Amino acid sequence: MPTVGVTDLNDDDFLLDVREDEEWQAGHAGGALHIPMSDFVARYGELAEAAPRDGRVHVICRSGGRSAQVTMYLIQQGVDAVNVDGGMQVWQAAGRPVITDGGTPGAVV
């Protein structure tokens, strides 16, 4: 499975967050696209519209399990996708910003 570390991500990398709504609302990475794994297949078109045409999709969840499943699905669809190793837990531990929809500091739950 292709993976990338949180510290290897650049601010302009496309990030897809597949955590559930309550996890997202508690805190997420700014600029990420949110499509919960439970809705992913039905909402795949949203990713197709938002993702860069020739770019990579970096998939993240809380710890890396759900994002690994979505990454494998995307690869099967011909998308250049990688799993973010350790997920939002590592993101937060690395000091990367976690925000709410209102822009205030958030938390990973």
- Pull the structure tokens for residue 94: 């690395």
What single letter denotes the amino acid at residue 51? A
Distance of alpha carbon 7 from alpha carbon 29, whole angstroms: 14
Please pick, among 61, 74, 82, 90, the residue that the annotation labels catalytic: 61
28, β-bridge pairs: 99
Concerning whether 61 is annotated as a catalytic residue, the answer is yes
Q: What is the largest CA-CA distance in the chain?
A: 37
Phi, psi of 24 (to 5 degrees): -60, -45
Distance of alpha carbon 97 from alpha carbon 10, whole angstroms: 13
Catalytic residues: 61
